[in-house]
Structure 1
Amino acid sequence: MKHSIFILASIFPYGKSEPYLEEELNYISRIKNSRIVLFSLSPRKGDVKKKMPSNVEINPIFFKGYFFYFLHSLTLLFDTKFYKEFFKLLKSKKLTFRKFIKLTTYLSRANYEYKRIKKLLKKKYHLPKESTVVFYSYRLEYQAYILYSLRSDYPNCKFIARAHRYDLYEEFSKAHYLPFQEDIITSLDDVITISKDGFKYLKDKYPFADNISLRYLGTKDYLLNKDWKKNPKKIKIISCSNITPIKRVELIAQSLYKISENIEIEWVHYGDGENNSKVKLETEIENLPSNIKVYLPGYIDSSALMEIYKNQDFDIFVNVSTSEGIPVSIMEATSFGIPIIATDVGGTSEIVKDGYNGFLLESDFSTGKLSELIIMFYKMNECEYLQFRNNSREIWEEFFSAEKNYLDFCIYLQNLI
């Protein structure tokens, strides 16, 4: 008899959303005697679908358009949960127009997709009320609210969700508001944080909750060899993120501008983003001297990036974000033994050990400080530099290997089934 795992994910496997779920799903799909069903929430009809393992069934619930969800929000007039949350905001004096809009769009979308999923579970999968399957939401936001709604329909099932960053830290979410977070957490069997920082955040916020756990994400091992060398004449920097206000990529350019020494520097940034942030970045790059070469190839998928890591040598990886869970981009870099310079936000300090495999910057760091660290790596003797590289790889092997972490996660899922 096959055991079923129902997964809820935003947009994935369509478009560019949730790129790191793909590797996790490759492992989940190998669980013996299992049926994996994926509900893809709100993909656009023009999005390209990624190739999935053959035993993963995809059920897209396509995005219906903002006007549709606006009309559907009229059903909230008869939704007691809406009034409960609305008056909770009102009583706590936290109600703002932005939060009201987020609450209505959140619930309208969640309720619509809940009804679609419930219908599929009954008519396509013939799932009886007494079923004991696993429901897994990849995010702790409105996708997990759908699990909260399904709980009363399937009381014997297991309901779990991962918590990353914007779906976890209220202060970094849109409108600084995560509707129903306490209700969702209380309803789940397990809330799986991806960092110690996230774990502590939830435990401090909800000390009564005994269903919060920690399980790191991981990346695949593409390293061909450890034949690392230091180029004494040039330093090559890589960064990889969306170009948005939170990621502050322009600060890397400003830091490079402050390097007065005439050393050869090459900086490659992978990632695309918002027009205003891109214009700001390009303006900063135009001011750089001729000894600093900058390349902005744009968006790149993970498999293509791994090929670049395999075939090119980078001396340091830089991340200057104001907010993170644990950056998978840093996991990928450490798997290739690349030293890291990163802001000490979220769970970054769990993968970057200051002075061991890289250096941590304060969130409000000065660009001069980043300049100093880049020069430090450039001037570092080869023996010391190679130790940083070995340390980076060692941290990845111990804590962030996909093989290790996702096989462990699969055992966990098997025990739930």
Structure 2
Amino acid sequence: MATRIAPSADVSPGSSQGRSDGAHGAGATSSASGRADAAAASPKGTGAAGRRSLLLLTDAFPYEVGEEFLEQEIETLCAAYDDVVIVPMRLSHGARQTRDLPANARCALLPASWFTDWRFHALLRAPQILLGRERMVETPPWKSPGRFGMDVRFAAIALSAYGRMRRLLPSLGLEGTGHLTIYSYWFFTGAALGGMLRRRELKRRPVTVVSRAHAYDVDEADAPRGYIPSRSFVMRAVDRVYPISDYAAGFLRRRFPGARNIEVRRLGVPPAPRHQRHRTDPFHLVSCSHMAPYKRVLLIAETVAELERRGRRVRWTHIGENDVERLEAMRARSAELIDSTPVTFTGHLTNSEVRELYATTDFACFLNCSDGEGVPVAVMEAQAAGMPVVATAAGGTGEIVHDGENGRLVPVDVTAAQVADAVESVMDLDDAQYAATSAQAHATWARMSDAQRQYREFVDALVALEG
């Protein structure tokens, strides 16, 4: 089960663990049906002057693991653009490409930095950081030394990335194209870099800069010192910012109350093979995530133990985690808590393997107990498969989990007993009520999380910005 790589200490305003909206890896190869669906996106440019190119700035995709949600979106992007070039911000020479790409997409790694410590870059570029036109330092040192230091750190890392991108840019084959869209997947270093490239290296050609925004890159309350650095600079760098949820949009609109370039564009997952859900005996619970502390897989284990103490017949399957040490630790802790209830830890599964498991296994309810989310893709996938969901109201989860309709929504600050109460309320539905809840889960996916619809509308919005 591939996990999303948490943004590194060099790029993340959040904790070293990072927070993500994804849960598991996806297959490296793209399906023929995905390509056919993507072909319905906006038409590509025609002729040399009309060629439409996209520079996509990620954290890691398509290298190593992480950002699995892009494995669906990339098909639609490549159907709309003549050339797509992908450059990850936090990887360099030696990273392994682990995902296949459509024929008109290619990827490249930034040249390695000679010095990995941001402090060196801050010293080297101190005049530019403190006196230059970029004005990334937004907090005076006398007002908050800590926040001043965070601004300096961000500026040093962004300027280092810009210097390395300048060296890489001539090899990307983008010079002769018409309109160029720079798309940062995160509202952080990549968005800042896009703005700098447009103002400097690409100032003589038509360029649009856009960014998605998720959770860690907008939630200042969850960031160190309650602060994400250089927000105004990053906001000025983009023509549009696309938060993936109303939750994320709320942070941006409160921070920039007059901004008119904030527009919600959701993530999505593909349709799942239809499977008639029913209340199994024992009631089969499934969860799907890596095992970083904020995912609170231990709370799920405690919930299963609580249900066992109440005499309820359940079983639990957890999908995810490719760190052997962390996986074995959770196995051992669960064995201490749970006596006779069947428990399965699958470890890492690819996206296609997860979809196949959902299609062939009688899972009755999906559990998510995270204390931090954007809008969880794992929940979208469960709903696509028609599963009722019991989840904490973390981040934007409540936008797709509607209490009493397609499952149960519980507070983030919750006990195992309270989660068990919510699970029991789904277990105790009669057949008709359970079938209606399952149908509502699938209907929520169709309305809010259908990848084909969400990504087609997103790409149409990108193309419309070209004017």
TM normalised by structure 2 equals 0.81
- Percent identical among aligned pairs is 24
1:95 corresponds to: 146
Partners of 1:228 and 1:386 within 8 A in 2: yes
2:18 corresponds to: none
Instruction: Supply the distance in 2 between the matched residues of 1:15 and 1:235 (Cα, whole angstroms).
Output: 36
What is the identity, as a one-letter code, of the residue corresponding to 1:241? Answer: S
What is the identity, as a one-letter code, of the residue corresponding to 2:454? Answer: N
- The change in CA–CA distance for 1:367 and 1:163 in structure 2 (over 3 A counts) is same
Q: Within the alignment, does 1:53 sit opposite 2:102 as a pair?
A: yes
2:285 corresponds to: 237
1:144 corresponds to: 191
1:402 corresponds to: 451
Alignment of structure 1 residues 162-173 onto 2, 5 Å: 162-173=212-223
Does 1 or 2 have the higher relative contact order (CA < 8 Å, sep 6+)?
Answer: 2
Q: Within the alignment, does 1:272 sit opposite 2:321 as a pair?
A: yes
Q: CA deviation at 1:344?
A: 0.9
For structure 2, the residue ranges without an aligned partner over 5 or more in a row are 1-46
Partners of 2:269 and 2:380 within 8 A in 1: yes
Instruction: Supply the distance in 1 between the matched residues of 2:333 and 2:248 (Cα, whole angstroms).
Output: 34
Q: Within the alignment, does 1:196 sit opposite 2:246 as a pair?
A: yes
Q: Within the alignment, does 1:247 sit opposite 2:295 as a pair?
A: yes
Q: CA deviation at 1:119?
A: 3.6
What is the identity, as a one-letter code, of the residue corresponding to 2:175? Answer: L
Alignment of structure 1 residues 142-221 onto 2, 5 Å: 142-153=189-200, 154-155=202-203, 156-173=206-223, 176-221=226-271
Task: Using the TM superposition, name which of 399-408 and 298-307 deviates more.
Answer: 298-307
Task: Using the TM superposition, name which of 171-180 and 214-223 deviates more.
Answer: 171-180
2:4 corresponds to: none
Instruction: Supply the distance in 1 between the matched residues of 2:136 and 2:161 (Cα, whole angstroms).
Output: 20
Alignment of structure 1 residues 112-151 onto 2, 5 Å: 112-122=160-170, 124-125=172-173, 127=175, 132-151=179-198
What is the identity, as a one-letter code, of the residue corresponding to 1:160? Answer: V
Q: CA deviation at 1:274?
A: 7.5
Alignment of structure 1 residues 193-342 onto 2, 5 Å: 193-223=243-273, 225-231=274-280, 233-259=281-307, 260-272=309-321, 281-282=330-331, 284-342=333-391
Task: Using the TM superposition, name which of 209-218 and 142-151 deviates more.
Answer: 142-151
Task: Using the TM superposition, name which of 17-26 and 150-159 deviates more.
Answer: 150-159
Instruction: Supply the distance in 1 between the matched residues of 2:192 and 2:456 (Cα, whole angstroms).
Output: 27
Partners of 1:265 and 1:291 within 8 A in 2: no
What is the identity, as a one-letter code, of the residue corresponding to 1:292? Answer: T
Partner residue of 1:376 out of 421, 425, 429: 425
Q: Within the alignment, does 1:109 sit opposite 2:157 as a pair?
A: yes
Task: Using the TM superposition, name which of 73-82 and 21-30 deviates more.
Answer: 73-82
Q: CA deviation at 1:92?
A: 3.6
Instruction: Supply the distance in 2 between the matched residues of 1:355 and 1:286 (Cα, whole angstroms).
Output: 32
Q: Within the alignment, does 1:389 sit opposite 2:449 as a pair?
A: no
Instruction: Supply the distance in 1 between the matched residues of 2:371 and 2:58 (Cα, whole angstroms).
Output: 25
What is the identity, as a one-letter code, of the residue corresponding to 1:39? Answer: V
SS state of the match for residue 213, structure 1?
A: coil
- The change in CA–CA distance for 1:314 and 1:126 in structure 2 (over 3 A counts) is closer
Instruction: Tell me how many residue pairs correspond in the alignment.
Output: 410
2:408 corresponds to: 359
Instruction: Supply the distance in 2 between the matched residues of 1:380 and 1:291 (Cα, whole angstroms).
Output: 25
Q: CA deviation at 1:334?
A: 0.5
Q: CA deviation at 1:103?
A: 4.5
